[in-house]
Amino acid sequence: MHNTNRKVSLDEISKISGISKHYLVRLFQKAFSMSPIQYHNLMRVHAARHLIQFTTDPLTIIAEKMGFPSIHAFSRFFKMVEGTTPSFTVEKVRYSLTSHKGCLTLGTEEIHTHHTS
């Protein structure tokens, strides 16, 4: 995922793509049922969720890596997209990693561990 670590403006996307802002918004609306900025913010939250699942970075660092101006802005966007707070997601991921004896659950995948004596 490219440029998920920063805020992107419609002017910037328009300039890079060579498409007028108005036409760009219409294309995105038709293809994704959202504006280019909404889509970009969605991708930022998805990238943040990936970091929550696969790193031990604190939420403040993840918010910073994703280019959110504050942990509050990050939490607001995250909850709007995911339907739950980033801190709840961290707890859920950490719980699922420690709750199954002999079985490691990451997202929807299970990895069975075998101990040899």
Contact in structure between 90 and 71 (CB atoms under 8 Å): no
Both tokens assigned to 13: 């996307």
Q: How many whole angstroms separate alpha carbon 28 and alpha carbon 75?
A: 25
For residue 29, the number of C-alpha atoms closer than 13 Å in the C-beta half-sphere is 6
Over range 17-29, report the average pLDDT.
90
Query: Using one digit for the tens of pLDDT, what is the confidence trace for 29-68?
Result: 999 999 888 888 899 999 999 999 999 999 999 999 999 9
- In tens, the pLDDT along 62-102 reads 999 999 999 999 999 999 999 999 999 998 886 676 555 55
